[in-house]
Structure 1
Amino acid sequence: MLSAKASCDSHGQDSFYFLGWEEYEKNPYHEVQNPVGIIQMGLAENQLSFDLLESWLGSNSDVLGLKRKGISVFRELALFQDYHGFPAFKNEMVDFMAKLRGYKVAFDPNNLVLTAGSTSANETLMFCLAEPGEAFLLPTPYYPGFDRDLKWRTGVEIVPIHCSSSNDFRITERALEEAYQQAEKLNLKVKGVLVTNPSNPLGSTMTKDELNLLIDFAVTKKVHVVSDEIYSGTVFDSPSFISLTEAVTERSIDETDIWNRIHIVYSLSKDLGLPGFRVGMIYSNNQTVVAAATKMSSFGLVSSQTQYLLSNMLSDKKFTSKYIEENQRRLKRRKEMLVAGLRGAGIGCLNSNAGLFCWVDMRHLLSSDTFEAEKELWKRIIFEVGLNISPGSSCHCSEPGWFRMCFANMSQETLKVAMRRIEAFVEFSSSTAAALDNCNHQRAAGRNSRRSSLPRWILPLSSYDDHEEADRTLTIH
């Protein structure tokens, strides 16, 4: 008696990306209360600069107390708000976005639509740009949540643009054309291309050549381009970030028809580390899209209190400049910690300059060059090593053996624990491969014989029964 939407399982919750979270929540790591639990490395949260935000709040108690010059604005904020959003907040948002782009481009607050996070922004754009059954092209690997955000309620299809490690997963003209032709074979009308820049999960910024390739493709095919730029403030190393808007402006085609098919998604979830505040936005010069998205935003507004607090914070230009610089410095240092720890374990990473994660190459640890082998390695890392990382298959990577590891959602001490675990795992796997094969043949001998042949650091992290249950329940969809 339920709707088809309620009854179907097309949400994407059965992805390894989400299944890993479920296992973490059953046994979360805590340095004191549960030191043998699973460490969460599958969550792209930025917790490295909370002290800067808390310091600002401590110095601006009036704002936190919902006051303006000592006078309460509670009643003003508690009443109904227009879904267009507070003008003061939108003005500060467009200035902050321009600041992150070195003021090489300017944004009009009238073209900004506020949404409850970037999830809502991306879905709203799909509702505005495509009909159910039409398609968007996405370069792989891509954020696993897009299978939910773009498809589940809208009915829009995703066709992958298959990128390769041979050129660091850069978009090529050939890959774009092959994806377009694949959509045609599937009788899907292509309405646009969606990219994340900087990339999630690669942690790298797009080159100007890639951006120009996308623009040329959009002009030729008469399709839209959506650039999800929620990590634009996390760029901590060269090359610098180039926004799609900057690439279009430089080509002097910003007044042509293509400008109406360029759309930017942004939020404060990553750059300011405020995912719980649910602040996202759409920027478009297409007035029909802006009007429709603004009406749709009434289903997911940003609260008045949040807009008031953040408009005051962002208006403090001295603070935002300090925050951006220091946050990027901390991200770079933390990324280098992760890369060094993995290198010590004989594991390499894709070169990256942005984001809250690294794209990690574990192909040499696979038992075979298959996604089945990737699944088995992923299960061992969760249940034996006690790390929740995201396998490449959940990101639709075309090559097995790549994993995303997040580094900014934990303390430095926790990251060190994670690195010690992965190093011990690799060392153990390399030195006792034959013993493990023998152990697999003797599973029927019981739990005790298995325990006697595993190193001490593995034993508390996984029981025989739990691992067997995982084999039965965790399957590739």
Structure 2
Amino acid sequence: MKWLSRKVTCNSHGQDSSYFLGWQEYEKNPYDEFQNPNGIIQMGLAENQLSFHLSESWLSRNPDAAGFKRDGESIFKEIALFQDYHGLPAFKNALVGFMEKIRGHKVSFDPKKLVLTAGATSANETLIFCLAEPGEAFLLPTPYYPGFDRDLKWRTGVEIVPIHCSSSNGFRITQSALDDAYKQAQKSNLSVKGVLITNPSNPLGTTVSREELSLLINFVSAKEIHLISDEIYSGTVFDSPDFISIVEELKDKNLEDTDVWNRVHIVYSLSKDLGLPGFRVGAIYSNDEIVVAAATKMSSFGLVSSQTQYLLSAMLSDKMFTSNYIAENQKKLRERHDMLVLGLQEVGISCLKSNAGLFCWVDMRHLLSSNTFEAEMELWKKILYKVGLNVSPGSSCHCTEPGWFRVCFANMGEETLKLSLQRIKAFVESTMTSNNDVGAYSQRQSPRNSRRRSIPNWVLRLSSHDRESDR
């Protein structure tokens, strides 16, 4: 294969990860209520299907937008012809208005500082291209979205150094964890260019606290590095505490006229908040004029279609619709979240307390045969092949503690979720009956040392890989 590029022949995209394997197995045997009732139920897809009826209802009430008309006259030719990569002004204005509404109008955004991209995947990669050179590094708190190994590293050549967070404090970011990650990068001769966080967190389903945001701002300010805040789940917050955007914290600290103001960047998308991953609408927001100019030029490799921009500019400009959508969507997310959490509690499985997102971070450590990632893989395969549920093992999210799983709840109907819970209940009952010693590994061993010994090489490497196709 010497006549092909290294990008084509290298194994760094994620084909060999457990996360990707779960998707492959689901696609071979997908659950269908009538055609394949014993198939695998997809609980590994962070997709929001709970409020489609609201969007579809809006479309039926606004035939001009859906039919590419203005005042009853077709504008198909106008939007079918060439558009430059700066995007339609009407859409950019509508998008920043929607972003402001989600944040309770506590912050404002300038559409001139917004760069449109084909989803958050493109936005994150474009930012990395703008901010770092191959061989340099970004720090990411663990557990983190598996697809970041692809989005941030595969084509850019940039490395990821994990900020190891622990269940002992709900996986919150600490000063010591930040310092340890920075020192680890230095030991590996990696120049750190920034920190990237997801807020709300994927896979934790929690909002980043004001204390953590302040800690991060102080850290990147002291190190003179960048901070990327991926806020694509900002509209999915369904319970307290409220979502705090990184921009709000910057303004509260009166940092608008400082260097750090230009080194903080936001990634956004309509894939989660509006449930439109197939529309491929993402965005970069930055106060750095050079970054905005470069990212705008680079966006020509992944533009949002003019037709999509025209339709969504009309939808997002409808303030009554957006207000109703945000409120109703958050209500439905809360109901579905509670349904999953309570259903798992009934069979003795707990979840990290969460208030946002399309998933729960589920604690199945007591079901492991030993405190190792090998045991986590063993349990995951049983859940996938025997129970018929595709969930995401914590090791694919770089969690350093075996036994955690991300379980999605918003990409299916209520009856399908009920069936999933029935399957889990039957599995847990049969497991505990057949083996009373399941999960009874010695608690006297040192968790720190056993964790290190049991982490597979592919987890310890800084190049573990995964994908998620919905950003």
Please give the TM-score of this superposition, normalised by the length of structure 1: 0.91
**Separation in 1, partners of 2:38, 2:270:** 33
- SS for the counterpart of 1:113 is strand
Equivalent residue runs for 1:131-150 within 5 Å: 131-150=133-152
* AA partner of residue 266 (structure 1): Y
Higher-Rg member (1/2): 1
The CA distance in 1 between the partners of 2:202 and 2:365, in whole Å, is: 20
Counterpart position of 1:78: 80
Structure 2 match to 1:234: 236
Partner residue of 1:214 out of 202, 210, 216: 216
Task: Give the corresponding residue for 1:444.
Answer: none
Structure 2 residue aligned with 1:411: 413
After the TM superposition, which residues 51-450 of structure 1 pair with which residues of structure 2 at under 5 Å, given as runs? Answer: 51-433=53-435
CA shift for structure 1 position 35: 0.5
- Aligned residue for 2:328, secondary structure, equals helix
Deviation of residue 434 (structure 1)?
7.2
Q: Which SS does the other structure have where 2:139 is aligned?
A: strand
CA distance in 2, matches of 1:408, 1:42: 10
CA distance in 2 between counterparts of 1:82 and 1:301 reads 9
Of 4-13 and 327-336, deviating more is 4-13
SS, match of residue 31 in structure 2: coil
C-alpha displacement of 1:6:
0.5
Output one character per residue of 1:222-266: Cα deviation in whole Å (capped at 9) or x when no partner. Answer: 000000000000000000000000000000012111001000000
Alpha-carbon deviation of 1:433? 1.7
CA distance 1:206–1:434, change in 2 (3 Å): closer
- Percent of counterpart pairs with the same letter? 72
AA aligned opposite 2:187: K
Other structure's SS at 1:114 match? strand
Q: Specify every segment of 5 or more residues in structure 2 that has no aligned partner in the other structure, as ranges.
A: 439-457, 465-471
> In the aligned structure 2, how far is the partner of 1:105 from the partner of 1:434?
54
- 3-state SS, counterpart of residue 154 of structure 2: coil
CA distance in 2, matches of 1:255, 1:11: 39
Counterpart AA for 2:335 = R
Q: Tell me the distance in 1 between the aligned counterparts of 2:344 and 2:87.
A: 45
After superposition, the C-alpha distances for 1:32-80 in whole angstroms (9 at most, x for unaligned) are: 1110000000000000000000000000011111000101010000100
Query: Does 1 or 2 have the higher relative contact order (CA < 8 Å, sep 6+)?
Result: 2
The runs of 5 or more residues in structure 1 that have no matched partner are 437-474
Cα distance in structure 2, aligned partners of 1:407 and 1:360: 12
Note the alpha carbon deviations across 1:449-472, whole angstroms, 9 max, x for none: xxxxxxxxxxxxxxxxxxxxxxxx
Letter in 2 for 1:333: E
Three-state SS of the structure 2 residue aligned to 1:209 is: helix
Match for 2:74: what amino acid?
S
Structure 1 SS opposite 2:196: strand
Q: Distance in 1 between matches of 2:255 and 2:149?
A: 32
Deviations 1:386-421 (A, max 9, x none): 000000000000100000000000000000000000
State the distance in 1 between where 2:266 and 2:19 align.
Answer: 25
Q: Give the C-alpha shift of residue 12 in structure 1.
A: 1.6
Tell me the equivalent position of 2:16: 14
Q: How far did 1:435 drift? A: 12
By how many angstroms is 1:17 displaced?
Answer: 1.0
Match of 1:453 in 2: none
User: In 2, Cα distance between the equivalents of 1:228 and 1:4?
Assistant: 29
TM-superposed CA distance for 1:355, in Å, is 0.1
- Flag the 1:435–1:190 CA change in 2: closer, same or farther, 3 A: closer
Distance 1:108 1:423, change over 3 A: same
Q: Distance in 2 between matches of 1:311 and 1:35?
A: 40
Distance 2:294 2:195 in 1: 20
Deviation readout 1:303-361 (Å, 9 max, x if unpaired): 00000000000010000000000000000000000001100111000000000000000
Q: Deviation at 1:429?
A: 0.2
Change (3 A) 1:420 1:301: same
AA aligned opposite 2:44: G
* Counterpart-to-counterpart distance in 2, 1:185 and 1:284: 31
1:13 offset after TM fit, Å?
A: 2.3
Q: Using a 3 Å threshold, how does the CA distance of structure 1 residues 435 and 196 change in structure 2: closer, same or farther?
A: closer
Query: Aligned with 2:332: secondary structure?
Result: helix
Partners of 2:281 and 2:313 in 1: how far apart? 12
Whole-angstrom CA distance in 1 between matches of 2:325 and 2:255: 34
What CA distance in whole angstroms lies between the structure 1 residues aligned with 2:17 and 2:196?
20
Q: 2: CA distance between counterparts of 1:385 and 1:128?
A: 44
- Displaced runs of 4 or more, over 6 A: none
Aligned residue for 2:446?
Answer: none
Summarize deviations over 1:66-106 as a string: whole Å, max 9, x none.
00010101000010001000000000111110111111110
Name the SS for the 1:195 alignment partner: strand
Query: In structure 1, what is the Cα distance between the partners aligned to 2:217 and 2:188?
Result: 24
> Residues of 1 paired with 2:410 and 2:60: CA distance?
23
Residues 379 and 65 of structure 1: CA distance in aligned 2, closer, same or farther (over 3 Å): same
